[in-house]
Amino acid sequence: MHRSVLAPLAAALLAVTALPAGAVTLSQQLGDIDFPSDPGLPNGDPDAINHRIGTATFTGANGGDPAPFNQFIGSDVTGGSNFTASWTFAAYGGPIADPVLSATIQIGLYDGDSAATGNQVAAFTVDGVDLTALLNAVLEATPAYTGTEVYYTVDLPAAALAALTDGSATFSLTLQGPGSGILGDTPNNGAGLDFAALSISTGTGNGGGPTPVPAPGTLALALLGLGLVRRRR
């Protein structure tokens, strides 16, 4: 073969474009979903306060779930206590060797009372990483009235993503007063968790890096080179 033919042919065969790595979603849910999300205005049901779920109805529906998703914790009234609970995800497919691209935590919070004055989240963490401001922001953006359940989703920051890679993630949530009652704000804030769902998006590890594929036009150029070689023989 002539060198003038081999050079462009070799260049054509080596001109490849790497396919982007795919993504895999890992997830785990604790507690089943027993009630729909029913936020009040400005985001949802204008009559949400009249669609209240009684505490006995809430706990009855959650009776077969693991703690703390099977009970109402704390009390809104004077002398009561604020909601506080923790739960651990340990079956979402970890430890995770591939890069964690993003993750969310969603909770179904019953009687969270975010329609009351001020912020209702005293503390929210995952493995010690502070998520309090993030959860307060979504609660305030989606007000909930006494006796209603609302689903809240938080996008986890980079520091929290790193905490997920060992295959276990413990979330802790503590609420604070004021809560909300039919007659207005209450001194404390009891609540219940219907469910919690963790979703993690990771890059796929294929061991050898991205699979190379011919760039547009590369195959045609290679075939042209082979044709020239045959004609010169």
Structural domains of the chain in order of their starting residue, each with its CATH number:
3-18+213-232 (no CATH), 23-203 (2.60.120)
Give yes or no for residue 179 having a pLDDT over 60.
yes
Which of these, 109, 99, 105, lies nearest to 131 by C-alpha position? 105
Specify the pLDDT at position 153. Answer: 98
Q: Binning pLDDT at 50, 70 and 90, where does residue 214 land?
A: very low
Specify the pLDDT at position 14. Answer: 35
Yes or no: say if 189 and 120 are a contact pair by the CB < 8 Å rule. yes
Residue 36 vs residues 44, 51, 52, 149: alpha-carbon distances, Å: 12, 11, 12, 7
Q: What is the mean pLDDT of the chain?
A: 80
- Phi and psi at residue 66, in whole multiples of 5°? -75, 155
Q: Which residue do the tokens 């985001």 mark?
A: 43
CB atoms within 10 A of CB 165: 17
Sheet strands (E) in 99-143: 100-110, 121-126, 129-130
Give yes or no for residue 191 having a pLDDT over 90.
yes
Task: Tally helices (H) and strands (E) across the chain.
Answer: 5, 13
